[in-house]
Amino acid sequence: MNGHLLERVPDCQAFIEMENFEVPDINLTTRTVINQIKFISENSNISYIGVTDGPSKAIFYEKDNKTCSIITLPDLNTFSKSDLSDESTISSNSVSGESSSVNKFPIINPIGAGDVCSSIFLNLYLDNEIPPLEAFISGLAAASASCLVVAPNSVFNLKDMEEIRSLISFVSFNL
Per-residue model confidence (pLDDT) at position 95: 37
Per-residue model confidence (pLDDT) at position 64: 92
pLDDT per residue of the chain (175 residues) written in tens, 0 to 9: 344 444 443 433 333 333 444 444 556 688 888 889 989 988 999 999 999 877 878 999 999 999 999 999 998 877 654 455 555 433 223 333 343 333 444 567 788 888 999 999 999 999 987 999 999 999 999 999 988 887 777 788 889 999 999 999 999 999 8
Per-residue model confidence (pLDDT) at position 26: 56
> What structural domains does the chain harbor?
3-78+105-174 (3.40.1190.20)
Per-residue model confidence (pLDDT) at position 27: 64
Beta bridge partners, 48, equal 3, 62
